[in-house]
């Protein structure tokens, strides 16, 4: 079985993330959407909240498993016998970082490939950071995130200042 992993912080999960998840599922037999437990990033939502958001929107999808991991992504992939890491590329600005990450992961374990997927055109500019800024300034984030999380994200962003 071809297994792939789509890792991330998902802070918060966006429609762009969901788009990449669905695209990735088309090229593997089983996809693990892996929420990073620890990250150098300062997150707006705690791990449990980010995990629960993804579980709520992706939990019933066939052959998609919402999971979590700590440490190196390639080690997590090996524990699952996964052959690929899926990464989303929105714009040229993402490429340099993602390219370095992919080469580093290849050096750590050459059996795990990195697959870059572009989201649908309507999501190419979208980032969790941008959504948080729009919400903080009381803008409409409903076109960018699952509807069940709009108010929760707006409230958290307002409270975070």
Which one from 90, 106, 136, 156 is the annotated catalytic residue?
A: 90
Which one from 25, 50, 68, 128 is the annotated catalytic residue?
A: 128
DSSP string for 41-59: S--SS-HHHHHHHHHHHHT
Helix (H, G, I), strand (E, B) or coil at 72: coil
Instruction: Clarify whether 158 is annotated catalytic.
Output: no
Which one from 17, 25, 87, 132 is the annotated catalytic residue?
A: 17
Which one from 2, 41, 111, 158 is the annotated catalytic residue?
A: 41
For tokens 């019933």, name the residue.
60
Q: Could you tell me if 161 and 132 are in contact, meaning their C-beta atoms sit under 8 angstroms apart?
A: no
Instruction: Clarify whether 17 is annotated catalytic.
Output: yes
Instruction: Clarify whether 128 is annotated catalytic.
Output: yes
Q: Structure tokens of 36?
A: 């990073």
The contacts of residue 99 (CB under 8 Å, 6+ apart) are none
Q: Is the dihedral of CA 59, 65, 71, 74 positive or negative?
A: negative
Helix 150-160 with 128-136: angle, nearest 10 deg = 70
Cα 61 from Cα 148, distance rounded (Å): 17
The residues annotated with a catalytic role in the active site are 17, 41, 90, 128
């Amino acid at each position: 079985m071809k297994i792939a992993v789509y890792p991330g912080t998902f802070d918060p999960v966006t429609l762009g993330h969901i788009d990449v998840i669905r695209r990735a599922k088309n090229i593997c037999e089983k996809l693990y959407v892996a929420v990073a437990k620890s990250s150098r990033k300062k997150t707006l939502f705690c791990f449990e909240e980010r995990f629960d958001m993804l579980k709520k929107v992706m939990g019933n999808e066939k052959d998609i498993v919402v999971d979590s991991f700590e440490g190196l992504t390639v080690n997590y992939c090996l524990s699952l016998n996964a052959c690929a890491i899926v990464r989303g590329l929105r714009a040229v600005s993402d490429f340099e970082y993602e390219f370095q990450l992919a080469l580093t992961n290849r050096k750590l374990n050459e059996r795990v490939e990195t697959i870059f997927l572009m989201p649908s055109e309507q999501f190419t500019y979208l980032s969790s950071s941008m959504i948080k800024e729009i919400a903080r300034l009381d803008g409409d984030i409903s076109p960018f995130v699952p509807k069940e999380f709009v108010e929760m994200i707006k409230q958290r962003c307002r409270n975070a200042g």
